[in-house]
Amino acid sequence: MVGAIPEVTSHEMMCPNRYAVAALIALLWTIANPMQAQQRDAFRVGSIEAPAGQMASGFLEIPAGVDEGTEIPVTVMNGARPGPVLALIAGTHGYEYPPITALQRVRRQLEPVELAGTVIMVHVANVPSFLGRTIYYSPIDGKNLNRAYPGRPDGTVSERIAHTITTQIIERADYVVDLHGGDGNEALRPYVYMPVTGEAELDAAVRGMAVAFGVDHIVIDEGRLVDPTRSVYTDQTALTRGIPAITTETGQLGSNDDHWVDMAERGIWNLLRHLEMVAGKPEIETAIVWLTDYQVIPSPATGMFQPSVRDGYAVAEDGLLGVLVDFFGDPISDIRAPFSGIVNYVLGTPPVSEGEPLAMVSRIVER
Ligand SMILES: [Zn+2]
């Protein structure tokens, strides 16, 4: 281990004592055994411990509290060489499958002996939502995990999951990626949220990650939060702690089709290359559409939605996005675009409750 080798000062080299001799032996050992010199400490998350150059998988337990408990499947891949700690979190919303499947593929292909640094994979952050096949909300407490951060140890199950991920994973990472897709009801054109904090160094790191992921639509997210105790979102939990983070969106409508899985997987490999954790260069889109001022359009009433646009469509200001109808099919209201821009996603299945999203629209940034 490099850190254990006593420092050799010029004074000690001039006047050899037993420490200097020990240091010299350590130095020669280092030169003769480069792999040994790079031996790193084990990395432990909960009870999951991976020695350097190895992988370990297991569960973080969320014990029962005010409601029932659950567990979070996690893999720790600890590289043989030094490097950053990258947290990849899938399944925050349990109906968003492509990133979950992509992480399983990367786990099979990534060789820890060839990895620089440590990858923490959260395979399914929200197991109750995944097994319960629910969109947005946990079937246990009715909460949205991506609004529950940083969580609390004595809260409901979503809050306890958030607390565990915050303290055991996010706060130990150098980079965080929250991997989403269109939820089971969302027809979504793939994009990455690139948060902006106003801190130059942090923003440069976030921008590097957003571009490296390799999806050609990037939504600039200026909804900055500053209080780490009220971080609400996964990415803001990292950012309010000074850790670069992005949220990615690949997939839609509950599909686990290879097309979407490939896209999520390519993004993960791109990030590993960008952060120099594996060899190679990321495949970066040359023509990125930069988007801003994103607006989520809430439903004015409960009923059924009939979209007249598709994900990725360009819309004019006041252009028709769709029609909200009641249970008999009679129109309640037209839903129109607040400004001209791109449809990031639109509701792709009929049911909607008052206040739930019908669509998200962003302005194109002219550059
Ligand atoms: Zn999501």
Between 27-36, 111-120, 247-256, 315-324, the lowest mean confidence (pLDDT) is in 27-36
Q: How far is the CA of 18 from the centre of ligand 1 (A)?
A: 60
Q: How far is the CA of 161 from the centre of ligand 1 (A)?
A: 16
Q: What is the pLDDT of residue 171?
A: 98
119 pLDDT more than 50: yes
Q: How far is the CA of 29 from the centre of ligand 1 (A)?
A: 50
Residue ranges of E strands in the chain? 43-45, 48-50, 54-62, 70-78, 81-90, 116-122, 175-180, 186-188, 191-195, 217-221, 245-249, 289-298, 303-307, 314-315, 320-325, 331-336, 341-347, 351-352, 357-364
What are the pLDDT digits (tens) for 208-217?
999 999 999 9
Alpha-carbon gap, residue 268 to 248, rounded angstroms: 10
Mean predicted lDDT score pLDDT of the chain: 91
Q: How far is the CA of 135 from the centre of ligand 1 (A)?
A: 8
Domain annotation for the chain: domains and CATH numbers = 2-37 (no CATH), 43-274 (3.40.630.10), 293-364 (2.40.50.100)
30 pLDDT more than 70: no
Q: How far is the CA of 197 from the centre of ligand 1 (A)?
A: 22
Q: What is the pLDDT of residue 367?
A: 67
Q: What is the pLDDT of residue 206?
A: 98
- pLDDT category at 38 given cuts 50, 70, 90 is low
Q: How far is the CA of 87 from the centre of ligand 1 (A)?
A: 17
Alpha-carbon gap, residue 31 to 29, rounded angstroms: 5
Token pair of 254, please?
């509950």
Q: How far is the CA of 232 from the centre of ligand 1 (A)?
A: 14
Q: What is the pLDDT of residue 314?
A: 97
Q: How far is the CA of 90 from the centre of ligand 1 (A)?
A: 9
Q: What is the pLDDT of residue 203?
A: 97
334 pLDDT more than 70: yes
- pLDDT category at 284 given cuts 50, 70, 90 is confident
- As a whole-number percent, the residues of the chain with pLDDT over 90 amount to 86
Q: How far is the CA of 44 from the centre of ligand 1 (A)?
A: 27
Say which residue the tokens 């988007």 belong to: 291
13 pLDDT more than 50: no
172 pLDDT more than 70: yes
Q: How far is the CA of 233 from the centre of ligand 1 (A)?
A: 11
Q: How far is the CA of 254 from the centre of ligand 1 (A)?
A: 11
Would you give the end-to-end CA distance of the chain in angstroms? 49
Q: How far is the CA of 11 from the centre of ligand 1 (A)?
A: 60
Q: How far is the CA of 344 from the centre of ligand 1 (A)?
A: 13
Q: What angle do CA 51, 52, 57 make, to 5 degrees?
A: 50
- Its pTM stands at 0.89
Q: How far is the CA of 338 from the centre of ligand 1 (A)?
A: 23
Q: How far is the CA of 162 from the centre of ligand 1 (A)?
A: 15
Alpha-carbon gap, residue 325 to 169, rounded angstroms: 44
**Partners of 121 in beta bridges:** 75, 88
- pLDDT category at 135 given cuts 50, 70, 90 is very high
3-state secondary structure of 239: helix
R_g (Cα) of the chain, nearest Å: 23
H or E segment and range at residue 42? none
Q: What is the mean pLDDT of the segment spanning 67-91?
A: 98
Q: How far is the CA of 114 from the centre of ligand 1 (A)?
A: 31
Q: How far is the CA of 266 from the centre of ligand 1 (A)?
A: 19
